[in-house]
A and B are shown apart, each in its own frame.
Chain A
Amino acid sequence: MTEEVKLFGTWASIFSRRIEVALKLKGVQFEYIEENLSNKSPALLKYNPVHKKIPVLVHNGKPVAESLVILEYIDETWKHNPILPTDPYEKAMARFWAKYIDDKLWPAVTKVLVSKGEEQKGVIEEIQEQLKTLESELKEKKFFGGESLGFVDIAANIIVFLLVAQEALGMEILTEEKFPVLHGWYQRLVDDAVFKECMPPREQHLSSVKVWFGSSTPSK
């Protein structure tokens, strides 16, 4: 049966990049559709009427939305190269850490980009506490998923955005000195053949972040 797989995303969104990684890890052929978020396509609005957001995966005409839900759908549909563990407890742990990344790290990272002065300092400390928590989960492992990258590693691609953002805006949040374990993991992550193919082009990402979030106005 011919399968039709489409992914609606944007080049800079770490959320749609997660889906690209999962599909490529499983060797699934797909059509990628770049959305313009200031002019959303009728197709996107049809496939995700609830949130009107990317990413959306459309498999044989059936849409799936919300990146972590999509990742699990992909893992259950294309069962080779699993990204989630089979053991229920290990699976629950993986889901816990992916949720932690989305519920805690992501809002803090977006906040640090728009806050200034004392408030920004506070958010930077908050992010660093979260990174310490993630490091304590990673421990001696090569990846959060163990020997190969898995669900949590894919979810933790937010760190790609964090590193670009901190360079673009001249902040120091995640440094090798402060986070040697996470730094080591990150080097392995971006060295992975599939993962590195799915990263936003660096120079373009840096200059876009500077345009979107960079500001010379001092804090009030």
Chain B
Amino acid sequence: MANSDHIVLLDFSGSPFVMRVRLALAAKGIEYQIKEEDLTQSKSSLLLKVNPVHKKIPVLIHNGKPVCESLIIVEYIDEVWKDRCPLLPADPYQRAKAKFWADFIDKMVHPSSYKVWAANGEVQEAGKKEFIDRIKMLEGELKSNPYFGGETLGFLDIAFLPLYYWFHTLETFGKFSIEAECPKLVAWGKRCMEEEFVCASLPHPHKVYDLVVEYKKKMGI
């Protein structure tokens, strides 16, 4: 299967959701082609064709068949390329815990982070507090392990790592220190950044900040 696979990723630089997919593909050593979408312009006909329901990125197109929604794509990648670097554990209970916390990140952490970088005043202040409270809960899940996946990077690490890459952006816009509140989480993020496949697939946190500044300007946020 490996040599005849054709994989395209519809991408938008800086998107924490696309970053998850890049990490999963890189973890498994899968080659793919990137098609950059510019979310500040109108959506491409390809995007509208492969994700007609949500019209959003990321979309992974595997041998012509599109898969949408970042965590669903990561699970798909894990199941198709199951012979290498498993991202989810084999035990159903451990899998359920990883999925529960990934769902928590999407439902609770991402909306708070939006308030930090995209809002001002009271909304932003409330967002900052909410964001810290919520990532502290996630920090508790690390326990004494180097990664959420245990001894190696796994599904939950991949689900959260893009937000770590956004910490510098959030701290700059929010004028606060995340490390002061969540030192263990920041240590985890630095540890992940030491992995070659991680820094090879993601834009540096300072670059993420530049991309977000540009995005905000173009979208009038």
Contact = CB atoms under 8 A, between A and B. Distances in A.
Chains A and B bind each other:
yes
A50 B134 CA distance: 9
Interface stretch (A7-15, A67-75, A171-179, A206-214): A67-75
A88 B96 contact: no
B95 A76 contact: yes
B85 to A, nearest CB: 16
A99 B69 CA distance: 9
Contacts of A100: 53
A64 B96 contact: yes
A88 B95 contact: no
B110 interface: no
Interface residues of A, number: 22
Chain B residues touching A, majority SS: helix
A26 to B, nearest CB: 13
Given A69-B100, A76-B92, A96 B72 contact: yes
B99 A72 contact: yes
B99 A133 contact: no
A180 B18 CA distance: 38
Interface in A44-103: 50, 59, 62, 64-66, 68-70, 72-73, 76-77, 88-89, 91-92, 95-96, 99-100
Interface string A26-58: 000000000000000000000000100000000
Interface residues of B, number: 22
Residue among B80, B96, B99 with max Cβ neighbours from chain A (10 Å): B96
Nearest to A137: B53
A78 B75 CA distance: 20
A88 B100 contact: no
Given A50-B137, A66-B103, A89-B76, A96 B68 contact: yes
B188 interface: no
Contacts of A92: 67, 72-73, 75-76
Interface string A95-121: 110011000000000000000000000
A59 B53 CA distance: 36
Nearest to A76: B92
Interface string B56-88: 000000100101110011011001100000000
A9 B30 CA distance: 42
A68 B72 CA distance: 13
A76 B95 CA distance: 10
16 contacts: A50-B100, A50-B137, A64-B93, A64-B100, A66-B99, A70-B96, A72-B95, A73-B93, A88-B76, A89-B62, A91-B75, A92-B76, A95-B72, A95-B75, A96-B67, A99-B69
Interface of A: 50, 59, 62, 64-66, 68-70, 72-73, 76-77, 88-89, 91-92, 95-96, 99-100, 133
